[in-house]
Amino acid sequence: MIGDARGSLRWMGPDALARLVPFAALVAIVELRWRPTWLGVGPGELGLQLAVGVVGAGALFACAAAIRSWIAHRGGNAVLPGGRADLALQLGYFLVNAPLEEAFFRGLLQGGGGQLISPLAAGVIATLAYSLYHRLGGWRWPEVGATLLAGIPLALIFRLLPGPPSLLAVSIAHFGATCGFLGPGVAVLRRLRRL
């Protein structure tokens, strides 16, 4: 199925209001009120964060596109972006979506949860919440499973990179995973004749 920019705008508006605005508000309140280091708003070790983020984005893009192809070949739907304007619109939206989702799930749930319970338990809870919340958005179970597969390395990156916690690497990697699984990845798969 081929989408278009108007179709993308129709789902982006309600999606931003239902998810991204509340995520941004919660993170802003915590950051402005308490400025906790565990939230990961700072750059951390910038060079390492950028390097891991870029490598992670490439790896997760490839894995997510392969999973999208597998799901599509088993009766799942894959919406092809409707030209360059729609593709650019989706890329811009995912560029905003990735850091806001990561700020909520990795920063607040995993980072903050790690202050209350063990960091491992907080990582598991944040990853499960990240995956299952996609089901609330109407995603089918195979797609929710795909988000779990992406959430595991994102949780590990956030937890294991040395230096102060940072959302930078996980946001870049998340952007790669989202692009691989949704419109941009579908466009690449179509071009490679894998979809």
pLDDT digits (tens, 9 = 90+) for 131-151: 999 998 889 999 999 999 999
CA angle (162 as vertex; 125, 180 as ends), nearest 5: 60
Round to whole Å and give the CA distance between 17 and 14: 5
CA 146 to each of CA 14, 42, 90, 178: distance values in angstroms, whole numbers, following the listed order? 23, 28, 19, 10
| Whole-number pLDDT of residue 2 | 65
Taken as a whole, the chain contains a residue count of 195
Average pLDDT score over the chain: 93
Determine how many CB atoms are found less than 10 A away from the CB of residue 76: 15
Instruction: Say if residue 100's pLDDT is above 90.
Output: yes
> Average of pLDDT values for 76-87?
77
| Bridge partner list, 80 | 2
CA angle (186 as vertex; 80, 140 as ends), nearest 5: 90
> Average of pLDDT values for 9-21?
94
Q: Residue 188 — very low, low, confident or very high, per pLDDT cuts 50/70/90?
A: confident
* Domain limits for position 137: 5-191
Question: What is the number of structural domains in the chain?
Answer: 1
> Average of pLDDT values for 12-41?
96
Percentage of residues in the chain with pLDDT exceeding 90?
A: 77
| Whole-number pLDDT of residue 41 | 96
| Whole-number pLDDT of residue 72 | 85
